[in-house]
A = this chain, B = another copy of it.
């Protein structure tokens, strides 16, 4: 097995003992190569498996005029069966090396993606989303017999229903001009200077994916320092973007031509690091401040009156940090829920306090404490 070592490790050494396969391309068959990795060792997988476009040839028989539906069915079963076996094998290998909360992204077209998706489900993977990559510049349908095939499908799956994968929701929302990122991604094809060409000017790989696609996948489901596996490495788009974004990679590839192109490509990239890689964090990342802290710190006195935003509900703050509203007592959340007759409530944003002439949510006080803590 040939192994590529890029300069990555010297730039960003793994904190502990760095495994030999990190930031390398393993040459060989996908299943055989993955067997050399420890189980539960990667944080994310991006897979661009063969689409099996030649499948059509298998279906075409020379004496097709005599083929009846039953024989036709048999032919297809045979060749789909082979693709399914291949798919099950690599998915099982990938599954073994995935950490329990790792994310798997698989891209494909209508030729193969339905089989991949069904097998994923059969193997116990849990689908989080399917995503459509809409190509702004697809190849037209020359014969005018179908719709222009203008998209590919990406399946985001995890190992089980209970997995808690990385999902940088706030980062993606900020990325998308403060709107939730949707399941449709409008991105151009890989063309121009990004497309790797050989000495003859021919494209090195027939289906090189654009870096923008990997950028979005890695931003969504990985963190700096994570290990990203690509079992069909090709010309190394996954590795290139991983290195740019400060992630480690490991690739598997059978063709030496692709390995050579990918190696040169990745070596020319600088490992990303620094403040530029920090991502927007949500409220959950902030330290938890119990409501009692507002009393301890003197920001609120026992006996203070809180109101709902519309002023309809009143509550008194008691010395232990509980509220009393009529016959209801309990935490800010519980009392907020009870006065509204609901099952849950975010007391921080529901209850308001009068400060001077203005009324503001007690969440503002929490923010003041948090900024004090940071200082």
Confirm or deny: A286 has a beta carbon within 8 angstroms of a beta carbon on chain B.
no
A212–B149 CB distance below 8 A: no
Across the interface, name the chain B residue whose C-beta is closest to A72. Answer: B124
Q: How far is the CA of A173 from the CA of B124 in the complex (A)?
A: 43
Contacts of A134 in B (CB 8 A): 132, 134, 184
Confirm or deny: A110 has a beta carbon within 8 angstroms of a beta carbon on chain B.
yes
Contacts of A144 in B (CB 8 A): 167, 169-170, 173, 180, 282
A303–B276 CB distance below 8 A: yes
Partner of A301 from the list B156, B188, B276 (CB cut-off 8 Å) is: B276
A113–B114 CB distance below 8 A: yes
24 example contacts (A-B, Cβ-Cβ < 8 A) are as follows A60-B161, A64-B340, A110-B127, A114-B121, A115-B121, A129-B146, A129-B147, A132-B134, A146-B167, A148-B180, A153-B153, A168-B320, A171-B320, A174-B292, A176-B321, A178-B333, A179-B290, A212-B297, A215-B296, A216-B296, A276-B303, A276-B319, A277-B319, A278-B319
A180–B274 CB distance below 8 A: no
Partner of A122 from the list B76, B110, B148, B216 (CB cut-off 8 Å) is: B76
The B-contacting residues of A in range 146-197, CB under 8 angstroms, are 146-151, 153, 155-156, 160-162, 167-184, 186-188, 194
Across the interface, name the chain B residue whose C-beta is closest to A169. Answer: B144
Confirm or deny: A77 has a beta carbon within 8 angstroms of a beta carbon on chain B.
yes
Contacts of A177 in B (CB 8 A): 288, 290-292, 331-333
Partner of A334 from the list B160, B178, B282 (CB cut-off 8 Å) is: B178
Residues of A that sit less than 8 Å from B by CB: 56, 59-60, 64, 69, 72-73, 76-77, 80, 109-111, 113-118, 120-124, 126-132, 134, 136-138, 140-141, 144-151, 153, 155-156, 160-162, 167-184, 186-188, 194, 211-213, 215-216, 219-220, 245, 272, 274-280, 282, 287-288, 290-293, 295-298, 301-304, 316-322, 324, 327, 329-334, 340, 342, 344-345, 371-375
Majority SS at the chain A contact face: mixed
Partner of A155 from the list B110, B130, B137 (CB cut-off 8 Å) is: B110
Of the listed residues A116, A169, A287, the one surrounded by the most CB atoms of chain B closer than 10 A to its CB is A169
Contacts of A219 in B (CB 8 A): 292, 319-320
Of the listed residues A144, A177, A329, the one surrounded by the most CB atoms of chain B closer than 10 A to its CB is A177
Partner of A147 from the list B178, B181, B275, B303 (CB cut-off 8 Å) is: B181
